[in-house]
Structure 1
Amino acid sequence: MPHYPLPPAVELCYKNYPERVRGKLLSLRDLILETAGLTEGVGKIEEALKWGQPSFLTPETKSGSTIRIDQTKADNGQYAIYFHCQTNLVDRFRELYPQEMTYGGNRSIIFDQDDEVPTAALQHCIAMALTYHLNK
């Protein structure tokens, strides 16, 4: 897998996470960037901080909805991938993968640090978010 350099502000953000969650978030980052590279119509991903969270945008093609990742509010070893709450993305994910993942309302997929991440299902969800505006 290619190496994607981190923007300095985003790199600092990752360094501030507890070690047990940092690795999980960096794995999510890798999966998002890998999925973007494999998904037609997405184009170059821009990484930035939005609401203090590592975020992934598609400014070149405007194909997708912003994806954010973060630990959950409580320092309990949980982390999440967040989607825009005014989309129907999480509802669609829940229909497609009702048992494979845990959902936080209409805005996130939540993982425990010890969870086995269902990579194929999550990659499909990420691709749907990155192409949201193409497929509305």
Structure 2
Amino acid sequence: MMNMTPPDFLARIETWPQPAQTQFVKLRQIVHDVATSAEIGPLDESLKWGQPSWRPKRARVGSTLRVDWSPSTPDRLLAFVDCKTNLAAQMDTRFPGQFHNDGRRALGFDLDKPLDEDAVWQLVHLTLTYHRAKRAA
């Protein structure tokens, strides 16, 4: 289900240190696996605010998930959800203490630990199906 990736998307990741790139590759695969298994449809894979991001191409299915690495937090890869959602709070409830979670929009993954694929899967699923799940509730 991976679509053509914009060159600037890949160029951005190449500027990151190797541990961040390695975590990102795993996270990106989970994003595309979730999109397939949850029948989300094609994803828009692009840079938003200079950060790699994914969003379902179909309207009103899910929210945007962005990921970034920054020299200001060099030991973490950060995932960002829409601050107008309760997604970060949901992840804190489901996985207390698992992430560096600001409870609003940012969740940090330590680069010196294995990526918790179950937690990331749930974060991605909750985010990419956010609007669809709200309509079903």
TM-score interval for Structure 1 and Structure 2 normalised by the shorter chain: 0.7 to 0.9
C-alpha separation in 2, matches of 1:116 and 1:122: 11
**Residue deviations 1:6-36 (CA, integer Å, cap 9, x gap):** 3211111111212231121122111111111
Identity within the alignment, %: 28
* CA drift at 1:121: 2.1
8 Å CA contact 1:43–1:61 kept in 2: the answer is no
Aligned pair in 2 of structure 1 residues 15, 111: CA closer, same or farther (>3 Å)? same
* 1:43 equivalenced with 2:41 (yes/no): yes
Structure 1 counterpart of 2:29: 30
Structure 2 counterpart of 1:87: 85
C-alpha separation in 2, matches of 1:16 and 1:76: 13
TM-score by length of 1: 0.87
Structure with the higher fraction of residues in helix conformation:
2
Equivalenced residues, count? 134
Structure 1 counterpart of 2:7: 8
8 Å CA contact 1:89–1:128 kept in 2: the answer is yes
1:91 is matched by which residue type in structure 2? Answer: A
C-alpha separation in 2, matches of 1:122 and 1:39: 15
Q: Which runs of 5+ in 1 are unaligned?
A: none
Give every structure 1 segment of 4 or more consecutive aligned residues whose post-TM-superposition deviation is greater than 3 Å: 2-5
Question: Matched residue of 2:28: which SS?
Answer: helix
Structure 2 counterpart of 1:134: 132
C-alpha separation in 2, matches of 1:3 and 1:125: 19
